[in-house]
Structure 1
Amino acid sequence: MAVGKSVIGQQLAQQLGVPFVDTDAVIVEHHGTIADIFAGRGEHAFREIEARTVARAVDAANINRAVVSLGGGAVLDSGTQQLLGDCTVIYLECDAETVAERIARNTGRPLLAGDAMARWETLFAARRPVYERLADIIVDVRSGTVAEIALHVEERLREYAALKEEVQK
């Protein structure tokens, strides 16, 4: 949450010449704001919508190559974890100090109500092992511009693809 998945993903997709899908944006487009879904229907309903949205995006990306950005909690769903087994998963690694300013500017994050940084740290501590387990590539996003980070991600993707191809030989 708040590490730059959407902006870095969008830049990466542009560099690669492939579509970009932000599953949070798709949810908002079809169901209203995430904050409104949480307030009106609860987190459980949101997670069900999210899992269906992610499944459609991942299925489409497996057919026609794309960059897909998932919400920070999407990977907690076991079905989503299974779907990601067929994808190259990139974990954008960050820390509380780096995201603090972004979180302070964005009040539309329902899971960060109250003491936003304390909530972020709690969520991150719980999610980090899942991120690390699912990741094929880990990229530190604490420094660099969006363009620099996206170029680094592209380089790492190419290295990963070459290694994967070599292993399959």
Structure 2
Amino acid sequence: MRQALLVVDVQPSFDPPAWLVEEIDALAATLHSVATVERHDESVTPFERQLGWKPGPADESLVRTDALFVKHGYLPPTAAIDHFCALGAERVLVCGIQADTCILAAGFALFDAGLRPTLLPWLTIGSSLDRSGALGERLWRHHFGAVIASRDELVSGGPYQ
């Protein structure tokens, strides 16, 4: 199965732990990888007005990837989804930050495009509501089913390889 990696919002505004950045960076070097970064533009997404918070206006991804797409809001940009389709990817491994919001939104966008979104929960953290990411993982399993539970399963050719 042709696969690629989507790294969601691993950027300074979300203060990712160093271990997360290092482990995702190592995986990103082994297959085609794409990152999204959330940048603030109040005229596009009213984070500050409605939530009293905003991501940085110039954040960059902390993970080195083959392609980078800027987004404003929860969904990945259409250009990122089109990129995976143009690659001929069948399955997109998803990891990063905000398991219960932005990562879940990416899953829906990938699914709707006919791709097979697959969560890597050991490389995913949640929002401030549930930093563990467990809520996001439960929602992911409910909506998409495809979860690779550990690095060993990914390396050993687990059920979704």
TM-score with structure 2 length normalisation?
Answer: 0.47
Please state which structure has a larger fraction of its residues in helix: 1
TM-score with structure 1 length normalisation?
Answer: 0.45
Could you say which structure has the greater relative contact order, defined with CA pairs below 8 angstroms and 6 or more residues apart?
1
The structure with more radius of gyration: 1
